[in-house]
Amino acid sequence: MEGSTEIALVGGAADGGTVTVDLDVHGRPPLTHHHLVDGRLANAEIYELESVLGDGPPWLYRWRGPAT
């Protein structure tokens, strides 16, 4: 089961935004997302996948800090 899904970003510079990610063959998204703050990898922020219980999307990416 491959495809893509949109996942909300919570916290950090991208709070309230979303990112579209590809799902693996088991239907799971990547465990982390690197958000480029000013278009440069050196200033990226790390977001980590979390499961969400209840109705609605099954995942979100929560801000964990700068990549440096």
Round to whole Å and give the CA distance between 60 and 62.
6
The pTM (predicted TM-score) of the whole model is: 0.87
CA distances from 7 to 30, 42, 68 (A): 11, 23, 24
Q: What size, in residues, is the chain?
A: 68
Round to whole Å and give the CA distance between 57 and 16.
14
Which pLDDT value is given to residue 60?
A: 97
Per-residue pLDDT of the chain (68 residues; tens, 9 = 90+): 569 999 999 999 899 999 999 999 999 999 999 998 877 777 899 999 999 998 888 999 999 999 87
Which pLDDT value is given to residue 1?
A: 59
